[in-house]
Amino acid sequence: MLVLKTFLVIAAGLGDVLSFPTQVALEAPKKPRQLHGRFLQITDMHPDPHYLSHTAKSTACHRKKGKKSKNQASYYGTPFSDCDSPFTLTNFTLDYLDKKWASEVDFVIWTGDNARHDNDPKVPRTPDEIYGLNRAMTAKMKEVFTSKGIPVVPSLGAS
């Protein structure tokens, strides 16, 4: 009887494991590249599709015009605030790496998480938004690195 109960518990748990979506690895390079002895680590980009320039820092840079320029969100991001990164910053950064550094690195370690923080109660973060941001960042990483044969080693998640 104990064996039967154990089997049922394992079978029930296995159903949960098998129901999760399969993970697909980023493609490996097709031909060997010359090695340079360098790697790049990219972490916690936190792109925010709701970020708007010149809005108030107090709204996570999502709405209301900042009354003073020192309280306004800027075009390429707002350091030392609760605002996440605008796509202007994340795209500019990855485009710069593409032009200036991609040919100089052997591989990329991609860590952290890719979704904005859920710090605006008027614009709550949803699972669909998280998945969409993960897909957008994956597409950009493919464009910048793996399409050129540079392996990307992802280790994603938040602490």
Per-residue pLDDT band for 6 (boundaries 50, 70, 90) equals very low
Entry pTM: 0.75
Per cent of the chain over pLDDT 90 is: 65
pLDDT surpasses 70 at 2: no
Under a CB-based contact definition with an 8 Å cutoff, are residues 28 and 152 in contact?
no
Q: What is the mean pLDDT of the chain?
A: 84
Instruction: Specify the pLDDT at position 30.
Output: 64
DSSP string, 57-83: GGGTTSSSB-SSGGGBPPTT--TTSS-
When pLDDT is averaged across residues 92-111 and rounded to a whole number, the result is 95
- Amino acid 95: pLDDT: 97
Q: What is the reported pLDDT for 22?
A: 61
**Alpha carbon separation from 123 to 59, 61, 126 (Å, rounded):** 10, 11, 9
Locate 58 and state its tokens.
Answer: 């107090």
